[in-house]
Structure 1
Amino acid sequence: MNRFAWVNPGSVEEAVAALGARAALKAGGVDLMDLLKERLIAPERLVNLRAIPGLDGIEERADGLHIGPLATLARLAEAQAVRLRYRALADAAGRAATPQIRNVATVGGNLLQRPRCWYFRSEDFLCKKKGGARCFAQDGENAYHAFLGNAVCAAVHPSAMAVALLALGGKLRIVGPRGEREAPLEGFFVTPEQDVLREHALGPQEIVTEVLVPPPAPGASSAYLKQGEKESYDWPLAEVAVLLEREGGRCRRASIVLGAAAPVPHRARAAEAALAGKAVDEAAARAAARAAVEGATPLADNGYKVTIAEVIVRRTILAAAQGSGT
């Protein structure tokens, strides 16, 4: 680990000014420590956000849920308003990692963490995501890698928060040198085809200052399910968030997002279309689940993930259909 300066800004504006070339942000520090120890980054300056007041709030207002980027996953999972009206988000936060990590890890850090592909994380492999010419996972050990959108890079997106927030229509409030902007999560994450070196559209001197989730529509309900190998604290083999809006017993609109499937959270639009206008029953859920994995391009060792993802999509749709709130 290299030597670096430590900066404790007292405001977002001071933090933005402290950023620049060879600087990195510190929130909870869970992923940051891994990146430093694995020599994936070597910043000259760490900008600590924990001293800035007002970035850890969780508040429901008339225009929806407002979440500070420093709110921990544990607090988000336990917040009563989140559990009652944004159930998919509460369950995603409560199923991430371990209790110890959830007490430290932040919403912003979870959203912006880097991929966990073992080739990317090892300094012995100069993969495409580090400027190399090859994705080693495509012909290597790929049992846990992407089965959708994996032509350029086969790493899966690691954020459970992104899966749930995208399904719920979340957006980010971002502050940078040019002022403040809002960015819908739809389109915020960058595919390898767009830029293999990046995972999101946050600028080098920009900071996420708030996550915004719109209020649930009448008749809306949501669910999140995760399937792990040991069902303890391991990374998911499949995770799915579903938002259903129903009217007269039929689906008016659905939002279905798959995690652990592609390099970005995967919006399953074919599955959403399969549910439109239908009564959400076992048959409709099965048809939508099949549509969700259409076009899969599994690698040598991860074809089993397609089957698991299809099952979890079906179960999550039915779980959302059984809910009385979001």
Structure 2
Amino acid sequence: MNRFEVITPADLASASRLLAQDGHVAFAGGVDVVDLMKQGIVSPTALVNLKGLKELGGIEVRPSGELRLGATAKLSEVAEHPAIRARFTAIAEAASETATPQIRNLATVGGNLLQRPRCWYFRNPDVNCLKKSGDKCYAFGGLNRYHAILGGDPAFIVHPSNLAPALIAMRASATIVGPAGEHTIELEKFFTLPTVDPKRENSLKPGEIITEVIVPAPSASVSSHYLEAREKQSFDWPLVSVAIALDRAPGEKTIRDARVVMGAVAPVPWRSHEAEAALKGGPLDEPRARAAAKAALKGAQPMTDNAYKVVMAKVIVRRAIMSAAGLEAA
């Protein structure tokens, strides 16, 4: 690991100016940044400490009912917040499934959204893969058990965030501050596919900082659920995850609207419009949930070692839909 300095900026504007400089990297919880440094993937000359900036902290449920998550809010705070658990259930469930209790007490909302892929080729300092300015993705034709089955070409990483699918399912937006000022972007549009640029996973530019995530108030008729499958029930990243948000007419079973967002199957949190269309306009039951799960994986293109993900994802999506509706899944 190279020598570096730690800089604690006085305010958000100073932090933005520092992060616009080459070799300056942001950290708050520091979980992924430290890993990347140890693995030789990044070699910053300076770490810009964001932990003390009050604009980035806190959790608030506003009088309007919308939820504000500061970028440096801890995942443990999100998982345990009573109002989030009651009204934004999928978000609390996703936060509670992340890593271990010790890491959740350190890791932040912004860090979870911005963490880099866990692909073993990308994380190997001796492999110059496509994401590190190389000319190929070694997962294609290589060891690809944990890689993408949707949207992967030309880089077959999967996005590792637990929180992102749940936030997108609940229609979240991110507020971003940078050299050009402040703007807001739908979180679904914040993440970018490798066809845009294989070396990055989001649209954040030099000097830009996520300050907060805003989730609009769900109506009383909306229910949500997050579910994932992983190899180990202790600390592990999901093999497949899904977040579901369902809007049912009060007193009726008909699905008026639905959001289905999968994780760990694509280079971005993968929203399935096909699954949503299969759910809308009718009463929810096991056959409809099964049809939606099948539609969610219609375009899947597994590689040599990860076809199991297609089967697993169908099961996880179906079960999550049923659970979001308060029904027992087979």
Please give the alpha-carbon distance, in whole angstroms, between the structure 2 residues aligned to 1:181 and 1:150.
29
Which residue of 289, 293, 297 maps to 1:289? 293
- Displacement after TM superposition at 1:7 (Å): 0.7
Q: How big is each residue's C-alpha offset from its partner over 1:10-29, in whole Å with a ceiling of 9 and x where there is no partner?
A: 21111112222111001100
Query: 1:191, 1:263 within 8 Å by CA — same for their partners in 2?
Result: yes
Query: Which position in structure 2 is the counterpart of 1:253?
Result: 257
Aligned with 1:137: secondary structure? coil
Q: How big is each residue's C-alpha offset from its partner over 1:168-195, in whole Å with a ceiling of 9 and x where there is no partner?
A: 1000011111211101112110100111
Residues 1:45 and 2:51 aligned together: no
Query: Which position in structure 2 is the counterpart of 1:14?
Result: 14
Query: 1:173, 1:208 within 8 Å by CA — same for their partners in 2?
Result: yes
Q: How does 1:258-269 map to 2 (within 5 A)?
A: 258-269=262-273
**Percent identity between the two aligned chains:** 51
Please give the alpha-carbon distance, in whole angstroms, between the structure 1 residues aligned to 2:154 and 2:18.
34
What's the TM-score, normalizing by structure 1?
0.97
Query: Which position in structure 2 is the counterpart of 1:58?
Result: 59
Aligned with 1:255: secondary structure? strand
Amino acid at match of 1:317: I
Deviating 4+ runs (over 6 angstroms): none
Query: Which position in structure 2 is the counterpart of 1:315?
Result: 319
Aligned with 1:173: secondary structure? strand
Q: How does 1:171-182 map to 2 (within 5 A)?
A: 171-182=173-184
Amino acid at match of 1:52: L
Please give the alpha-carbon distance, in whole angstroms, between the structure 2 residues aligned to 1:281 and 1:40.
47
Please give the alpha-carbon distance, in whole angstroms, between the structure 2 residues aligned to 1:234 and 1:57.
27
Amino acid at match of 1:11: D
- Displacement after TM superposition at 1:232 (Å): 2.0
Aligned with 1:108: secondary structure? helix
Query: Which position in structure 1 is the counterpart of 2:302?
Result: 298
Q: How does 1:143-158 map to 2 (within 5 A)?
A: 143-158=145-160
Query: Which position in structure 1 is the counterpart of 2:83?
Result: 81
Query: Which position in structure 2 is the counterpart of 1:274?
Result: 278
Please give the alpha-carbon distance, in whole angstroms, between the structure 2 residues aligned to 1:152 and 1:231.
31
Q: How big is each residue's C-alpha offset from its partner over 1:18-71, in whole Å with a ceiling of 9 and x where there is no partner?
A: 222111001100000011111111111110001212422011011500010111
Query: 2:12, 2:55 within 8 Å by CA — same for their partners in 1?
Result: no
Q: How does 1:134-213 map to 2 (within 5 A)?
A: 134-213=136-215
Query: Which position in structure 1 is the counterpart of 2:70?
Result: 68
Query: Which position in structure 2 is the counterpart of 1:36?
Result: 37
Please give the alpha-carbon distance, in whole angstroms, between the structure 2 residues aligned to 1:12 and 1:177.
11
Please give the alpha-carbon distance, in whole angstroms, between the structure 2 residues aligned to 1:278 and 1:100.
43
- Displacement after TM superposition at 1:5 (Å): 1.9
Amino acid at match of 2:287: A
Please give the alpha-carbon distance, in whole angstroms, between the structure 2 residues aligned to 1:131 and 1:300.
25
Q: How big is each residue's C-alpha offset from its partner over 1:76-98, in whole Å with a ceiling of 9 and x where there is no partner?
A: 00000100000000000000111
What's the TM-score, normalizing by structure 2?
0.96
- Displacement after TM superposition at 1:4 (Å): 1.4
Query: Which position in structure 2 is the counterpart of 1:121?
Result: 123
Please give the alpha-carbon distance, in whole angstroms, between the structure 2 residues aligned to 1:52 and 1:151.
38
Please give the alpha-carbon distance, in whole angstroms, between the structure 1 residues aligned to 2:65 and 2:248.
21
Query: 2:137, 2:155 within 8 Å by CA — same for their partners in 1?
Result: yes
Aligned with 1:236: secondary structure? coil
After superposition, the CA RMSD in angstroms is 1.0
Amino acid at match of 1:264: V
Query: 2:71, 2:110 within 8 Å by CA — same for their partners in 1?
Result: yes
Q: Which runs of 5+ in 1 are unaligned?
A: none
Amino acid at match of 1:92: A
Q: Which runs of 5+ in 2 are unaligned?
A: none
Please give the alpha-carbon distance, in whole angstroms, between the structure 2 residues aligned to 1:238 and 1:106.
22
Query: 2:55, 2:211 within 8 Å by CA — same for their partners in 1?
Result: no
Q: How does 1:94-113 map to 2 (within 5 A)?
A: 94-113=96-115
Aligned with 2:33: secondary structure? helix
Aligned with 1:120: secondary structure? coil
Query: 2:159, 2:264 within 8 Å by CA — same for their partners in 1?
Result: yes
